[in-house]
C-alpha cells in the first residue's frame, strides 16, 4: 500500500498541514521539525506526487458522487467509479437523492466548503442554478450521463441509441412501433425519443402519438412498476403495437410482465427492445442497446482524478456509442427470414 502524508504525520507526531508545508518547501516550519519529517518520509519510502500534494492543500481526499436515484444502471456506473478510486488514495461518498427535488440539497452538501476535492455529478440536467453552484465551488467537477459546455463530461449518444433500437424493430418487420418512455423531463429519455422519431421518419412511417406512452413516477419513470403501468395503459388503446422500444431495461421488466398478464407472447405478438443491458436482463433474453455503464463510471472518475492531479482547467466532452444486442425478444431481420425461406 502506498505511503501517504497521513502516515508521515502520525509517525512524526505532527499535523498533516505541517507535513504538507515540509513537502512543499514552505519556510513556515522549524528546521528540526523539517528534518524529522523528511527523515521519516525517507524511512517509510514516501514518494511525493501531484495527487498527494493536491490532497494536502485541500485537506480532503474525498470524491463526492451526486446521483438522482438508485437503479441497476447507476449501480454499474458506481462499480466503475469504485474500481478506479480503489487504485488511488481517494475515498468516495455517494449522495443519493430519492427524487429530483432532493438533488439540489444533496448537491449543496457535496459542495460544502472543504468537504470534497472533486465532484462527479450524474445524470441530472445542469440547470442554471446547478451551473452556478458548481462554478462557484472550490471542487473540481466532472459530469457523467449529462452535459454542459462549461464542464468536463462523459455521455452516451442517446439519440443514436433510440434510432438504432427503433430501426432494428423496423428491419424485423414491425410497422406499428410503440415507445415506452420515462418522463419527458429526463434528458436521456427525451433524446431516445428523438432517435425513435427520426428512425420512423427515415423509414417513411408516420409517428403516431397514440403509440407513445410515458410515466413520471419516482425515479423519473425508470422503474419496473413504471414500465408495467405504462405498457398496460398502451395496451388499453385501440391500436396495438407490433413492437416497442423501451427507454430502459428496468422499465422493460415491467413491460414484459404486462404483456404476460395480457396473454401476449414475445416476440410473436410484440417485439421488445430495451436500453442499458443490465446483467439481470441478459438472462431474460432481452434485446437491448448496451450502454458502457461500467466504462462510463470508470472513465469519468479517471478524468476527474487527472484534473485533480494536474490542475488542468481545460474540459473535454466524450461521447460513447451504445451497441445493439439482439436476443430473443425481437424477431429475426426480414431479410434474414426471407433468405432462410429461399433455402
CATH value at residue 17? 1.10.260.40
d(C-alpha 134, C-alpha 123), whole Å: 15
Do 178 and 288 lie in a common domain?
A: yes
Q: What are the cell numbers at 221?
A: 419513470
Do 190 and 253 lie in a common domain?
A: yes
pLDDT for position 123? 86
CA proximity to 54, closest of 139, 151, 119, 142: 139
pLDDT in tens, 155-184: 999 999 999 999 999 999 999 999 999 988
| pTM listed for this prediction | 0.77
pLDDT in tens, 273-285: 999 999 888 888 9
Residue 106 within any structural domain of the chain: yes
153 Cα distance to chain centroid: 11
> For residue 243, how many C-alpha atoms fall within 13 Å in the half-sphere facing its CB?
25
Q: 214 has which bridge partners?
A: 181
Helix (H) / strand (E) containing 320:
strand 317-320
* Backbone torsions φ then ψ of 174, nearest 5 degrees: -75, 135
What DSSP state is assigned to residue 215? Answer: -
pLDDT for position 9? 85
Do 110 and 145 lie in a common domain?
A: yes
Do 39 and 174 lie in a common domain?
A: no
d(C-alpha 266, C-alpha 213), whole Å: 19
What DSSP state is assigned to residue 160? Answer: H
Do 218 and 263 lie in a common domain?
A: yes
- Cis peptide upstream of residue 218 (ω within 30 degrees of 0): no
Find the domain containing 121 and state its range.
Answer: 62-156+294-320
pLDDT for position 57? 46
Do 152 and 162 lie in a common domain?
A: no
Do 315 and 334 lie in a common domain?
A: no
pLDDT for position 343? 47
pLDDT for position 48? 59
Do 118 and 148 lie in a common domain?
A: yes
Residue 36 within any structural domain of the chain: yes
How many separate domains does the chain show? 3
CA proximity to 195, closest of 172, 173, 175, 179: 179
CA proximity to 98, closest of 191, 217, 180, 187: 217
pLDDT for position 114? 64
Do 191 and 233 lie in a common domain?
A: yes
Do 147 and 184 lie in a common domain?
A: no
Do 304 and 281 lie in a common domain?
A: no
Do 205 and 337 lie in a common domain?
A: yes
Close Cβ partners of 99 (under 8 Å, ≥ 6 residues apart): 68, 69, 218, 219
Flag residues of the chain having pLDDT under 50.
50-59, 335-343
264 φ/ψ sector (left φ>0, alpha ψ -120 to 50, else beta): beta
* Backbone torsions φ then ψ of 9, nearest 5 degrees: -60, -40
d(C-alpha 281, C-alpha 288), whole Å: 9
pLDDT for position 217? 61
pLDDT for position 59? 46
Residue 54 within any structural domain of the chain: no
Residue 56 within any structural domain of the chain: no
d(C-alpha 104, C-alpha 97), whole Å: 9
pLDDT for position 18? 83
pLDDT for position 56? 45
Amino acid at each position: 500500500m502506498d505511503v501517504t502524508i497521513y502516515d508521515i504525520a502520525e509517525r512524526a507526531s505532527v499535523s498533516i498541514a505541517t507535513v504538507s508545508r515540509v513537502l512543499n518547501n514552505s519556510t513556515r516550519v522549524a528546521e528540526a521539525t523539517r528534518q524529522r519529517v523528511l527523515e521519516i518520509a525517507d524511512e517509510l519510502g514516501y514518494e511525493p506526487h501531484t495527487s498527494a500534494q493536491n490532497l494536502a492543500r485541500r485537506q480532503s481526499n474525498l470524491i463526492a458522487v451526486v446521483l438522482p436515484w438508485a437503479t441497476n444502471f447507476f449501480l454499474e456506473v458506481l462499480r466503475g467509479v469504485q474500481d478506479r478510486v480503489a487504485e488511488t488514495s481517494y475515498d468516495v461518498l455517494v449522495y443519493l437523492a430519492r427524487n429530483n427535488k432532493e438533488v439540489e440539497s444533496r448537491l449543496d452538501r457535496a459542495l460544502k466548503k472543504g468537504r470534497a476535492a472533486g465532484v462527479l455529478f450524474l445524470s441530472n440536467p445542469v440547470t442554471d442554478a446547478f451551473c452556478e453552484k458548481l462554478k462557484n465551488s472550490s471542487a473540481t467537477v466532472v459530469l457523467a450521463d449529462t452535459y454542459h459546455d462549461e464542464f468536463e463530461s462523459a455521455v452516451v449518444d442517446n439519440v443514436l441509441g433510440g434510432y438504432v433500437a427503433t430501426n432494428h424493430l423496423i428491419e424485423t418487420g414491425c410497422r406499428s412501433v410503440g415507445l415506452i418512455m420515462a418522463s419527458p423531463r429526463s434528458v436521456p429519455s427525451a433524446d431516445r425519443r428523438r432517435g425513435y422519431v427520426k428512425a420512423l421518419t427515415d423509414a417513411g412511417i408516420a409517428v403516431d402519438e397514440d403509440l407513445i406512452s410515458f410515466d413520471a413516477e419516482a425515479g423519473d419513470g425508470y422503474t419496473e412498476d413504471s414500465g408495467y403501468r405504462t405498457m398496460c395503459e398502451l395496451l388499453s388503446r385501440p391500436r396495438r403495437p407490433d413492437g416497442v422500444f423501451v427507454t430502459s431495461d428496468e422499465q422493460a421488466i415491467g413491460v414484459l410482465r404486462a404483456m404476460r398478464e395480457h396473454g401476449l407472447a414475445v416476440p410473436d405478438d410484440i417485439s421488445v427492445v430495451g436500453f442499458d443491458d443490465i446483467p439481470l436482463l441478459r438472462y431474460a433474453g432481452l434485446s437491448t442497446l448496451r450502454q458502457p455503464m461500467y466504462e462510463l463510471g470508470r472513465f469519468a472518475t479517471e478524468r476527474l482524478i487527472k484534473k485533480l492531479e494536474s490542475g488542468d482547467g481545460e474540459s473535454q466532452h466524450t461521447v460513447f456509442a451504445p451497441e445493439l444486442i439482439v436476443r430473443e425478444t425481437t424477431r429475426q431481420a426480414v431479410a434474414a427470414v426471407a433468405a432462410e425461406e429461399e433455402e
